[in-house]
Structure formats: structure tokens, C-alpha cells
Amino acid sequence: MRYISTRDPKRAVSAADAVISGIAPDGGLYIPEDPDFGSFDWKALLSEDFRGIAERIFSFYFEDLPGIPEIVGKAYGPRFDTPEVTPLKKVGDRFVLELFHGPTSAFKDVALQALPLLLSEARKVRGITHETVILTATSGDTGKAALEGFRDVPGTRIIVFFPDGGVSTVQRAQMVTQEGGNVCSVAVRGNFDDTQTGVKQIFVREKAEGLPGTDAALSSANSINIGRLVPQIAYYFKAYADLVKAGEIRVGDPIDFTVPTGNFGDILAGYLAYRMGLPVGKLVCASNKNDVLTEFIGTGVYDKNRPFYKTTSPSMDILVSSNLERLLYFLSEEGDEPVSELMKKLTETGRYKVSPRFLEKLQALFDCGAANDEEVADSIREVFTKYGYLLDPHTAAGWHTADRYFEKTGHTRPNVVLSTASPYKFPQAVLEALGIPHGSDEFEMMDLLSEKTGVQVPYNLSSLRGKEERFTDVVDKEEMYAYVIRTLEK
């Protein structure tokens, strides 16, 4: 498979090159050159376990990378706390796909345990000897998962930027205590979009003037890297295979997925699974109060000119969902505005509108909904009270959205709600939802939550307590480039 930019379909690159550079030279995102995945034998996946599924999918997308079986074996081994990797649980009238069993208790581990190994392999294939420097902007979970994934991977270094005050205490603790000789995290004065924009500008500047004083080259671990996106396709098939095995559906029956969405990476992986043949009824996009995607899917207008809210589901506090650009490319047709034009409008005016034809296609496969903090809390309480199952706030936004979706359409197909984080990453919001009084220490909150619910705290979180803080720098967004240069000189 070769890859083209969403903004210039004429020049294709190999998978190795797409993984190494992360973003296309024109600022676009890499997508498969031939989106006709009809040749893919998706039914062969149904008898496989997670690793077998991942191996087949990786081999399909990264055919120029040898060593895929080793990569899959390393990525999805004992660092996950269950051999199932992404178990599917029946909770009430739907299914919860638990994506948080990796080393940082966030769904991003599924992709970020594999990406560094894919990148290493891609470097080998291309004979690269200079250092690859990963720059990542994070709204909380990506940062830690990326640090953990790249930690001491030879030939790489990683710098993670997170919004100062924009992540939870536990998320911050995870990042500033990170171990490893090639890692660093730094806080940025601003919100996630400022942080992400800052990182994008560093990439643009590197293209123009290189990185003075070093022969290192930048790459990205954000969900814009195709090597981040592809591993996520695996669990859509895994969930389907589990439903077949459990006798809930027969092969070919369509199912719905409800996806708590921020940067649109997770749900886009679902779209790719659909294009590869997975019988999907609807992909239901769940937002929080930052409901820019809900409006887009409902009306065809993308408008980021709106207040930015900090919510109890911070990993979804996003106004510019980068991966949507890939969907724009896939769904647009001759006569529609080119993706580069839409993105130009977004940069210049913060807004664009797609054609009625485009909107029709979008709505044929996607539904949407949003949950405010109160609705998120209601879902956490309701699901725990009724089923004894503890949702994190992001997953609860999905649960609420699925409720509204059932009300609107009837519950006609099995619905899989993707669970994107352990509730223990957000203990305060979960305790408050359950009406349990608590103090101000997040680690004590974890213990309290465990005591009240009987659900165990993942070891990777409980062991953060009292760990030494290695990274305490805070920078202005204008200083980010200089910070990278300084760090690389060291």
C-alpha cells in the first residue's frame, strides 16, 4: 500500500516514508492511495485473536515493513494486563469495548505501543541513521502513552507538550515522572489547541529551515501519523469477532459503534474498518460540550469560532479535529471543494461548509451527539447503580450519546461503546458523579473510589504516588520552537 496526501493526491510515498514523516510536506495527512479495500479478506480475521487480527491488518497497510509479526508480538504482549488486549463486555443493553488495558490505562496505548516499533522498522528500511525526534501535543492521554511507547527505543527521542492546567493531576503526574533516557515533557501556557497549533508550526518551520545545530529530523506521534491510525482498526474487527463468537450476531450482520471523539482518530479507524468490509451500520460520534463535530455531522458546517469549554472529559476538549481531514478526502467527490481549500478556509476564517451531497454521504454512515458534564455524570451514576460497571467520563459521554441515538432511531442493531480510559484516570469526576464526598488529593480519590466500588486501581496509576517529578518546565506557546532546539542541543 502506498500513501498520498489529502491535499495533493498526485505524489505517493511508501508506508515507511509516511510513518517516518508523520505529516505530508504540504501539511496534509497521509491516506492510502487506493481506498478500494475490496480485496481485503476481512472474514479471515474473525477466527483470529487480537494479535492475529493486528498482524493481518499491519501486513496489509505496511507491506514494505518486514518484521510485522515481531512488532505485533512485542506491542501486544505482557504490557497489556489481559491477553485479550481489548476485551468486550456486555453491560446492560449494549457492549463496552475496553481499550484501556495497556501500560498507561488509556486507549491510546493500543496504537502507541506499536507506532515506535513501526517507526524503528521504517528507519531500518530507509537506512536512516540520524535521530528521529517525536514531537507531540497532548490533551492528556496521548502524551503519557507516547512517552511510554517511545521510552528508550533506539534512534528516537520524544518531547511531549501539554496544556498547563489543562490535564488532570494524574495525567500530569504520569508525564512529569516518566522514566527513560530519551524522554521529556513540558507544559505550555494555553489550551490544547494552542499547544497543537504550536507543534504544527514547529513542523512547518523545520521544513523551511531544518533544525539548527543538529541533523535530527522531526516526526509525530499524534493521531495524524498513519502508524497511529492503523493499529486502531484492529479492535473494531476484534469486537465484531467477539460478538460472532458469543453468538450475538451472525457474520454479515451490521453493528453500530459509539465512539467518544476528540481528534477524530479513533472513529476514523472505524471508518477504515468499514471500508475494508466490516459490516457497520452507523458510527456514532460522541462529543462533550465542545460539540463542533456534532454540529458538523448534523449540518455540514464546521465552525471552530465558539467558546472553548474545559469539561470532565478533557481528552475530548478539542475544537479542531485533525483527522477529520482524512474523512473529507474520502467522502468528497469531483465538484466538491478540494480538501486543501477547506483547510485554507478553516485556517483563515475558522469555518467551512461541505456540499449537500457530501453531507448526505456523511450522514449515511455517521450519527452524532453530545453530552454535557451533567449528562456525563448521570450516565456514570446510572450505569454503576444499574449494572455495577464503572465508566470513565469519556466513555460516559459515549454511553449518553448512545442513549439519545436509541431514542431517535430505536435500538435496531447491537451497539458497541468504545471505552477509552480507565475510570481511575479521572477519579474526581467519577466520585462526584457517584455523589461520594472526597478530599483534594487525586491519589486518595483513587483509593476511595476503589473502596466504594470494589473496582481495582490499575497498578500503573497507583504506583505514581510520590514518584519523583523529572520535568517541571512551563513555556509560552511562542517559545516552543526555541525549547525544542535547546533540548536537542543538550
Binding residues (CB under 6 A) for ligand PLP: these are 106-108, 141, 223, 260-266, 315-316, 394, 420-421
108 is catalytic: yes
Other C-beta atoms lying within 10 Å of the C-beta of residue 374: 12
Distance CA(368)–CA(6), nearest Å, equals 24
Grid cell of 269 as nine digits? 479507524
Catalytic residue from among 43, 74, 90, 108? 108
> Length of the chain in residues, anyone?
490
Question: Cβ of residue 410: shortest distance to ligand PLP, in angstroms?
Answer: 27
Question: Cβ of residue 260: shortest distance to ligand PLP, in angstroms?
Answer: 4
CB of 121 or CB of 317, closer to ligand PLP: 317
Q: Which helix (H) or strand (E) holds 478?
A: none
CB of 109 or CB of 121, closer to ligand PLP: 109
Look-up: residue for cell 431514542?
Answer: 407
Crossing angle, helix 480-489 and helix 192-209, to 10 degrees?
A: 60
Beta partners for 13? 3
Question: Cβ of residue 294: shortest distance to ligand PLP, in angstroms?
Answer: 13
Cβ pair 227, 146 in contact under 8 A:
no
> Within its chain, how far is the Cα of 429 from the centroid?
21
Q: What is the DSSP letter of 34?
A: -
Question: Cβ of residue 449: shortest distance to ligand PLP, in angstroms?
Answer: 17
Other C-beta atoms lying within 10 Å of the C-beta of residue 38: 9
Question: Cβ of residue 261: shortest distance to ligand PLP, in angstroms?
Answer: 4
Question: Cβ of residue 224: shortest distance to ligand PLP, in angstroms?
Answer: 10
Helices (H) and strands (E) in the chain, counts: 20, 16
Cβ pair 346, 304 in contact under 8 A:
yes
Question: Cβ of residue 143: shortest distance to ligand PLP, in angstroms?
Answer: 10
22: left (phi over 0), alpha (psi -120 to 50) or beta: left
Instruction: Give every CB contact of residue 468 below 8 A, 6+ residues apart in sequence.
Output: 177
Cβ pair 123, 155 in contact under 8 A:
yes
CB of 150 or CB of 271, closer to ligand PLP: 271
Residue 93, φ and ψ in degrees, nearest 5: -95, 10
SS3 call for 374: helix
Distance CA(15)–CA(221), nearest Å, equals 15
Alpha helix stretches (DSSP H) within 158-276: 169-176, 192-209, 226-245, 265-275
Cβ pair 396, 450 in contact under 8 A:
no
Question: Cβ of residue 433: shortest distance to ligand PLP, in angstroms?
Answer: 16
Other C-beta atoms lying within 10 Å of the C-beta of residue 236: 29
Q: Which helix (H) or strand (E) holds 456?
A: none
Q: Which of 425, 70, 61 is nearest to 269 (CA)?
A: 61
Catalytic residues: 108
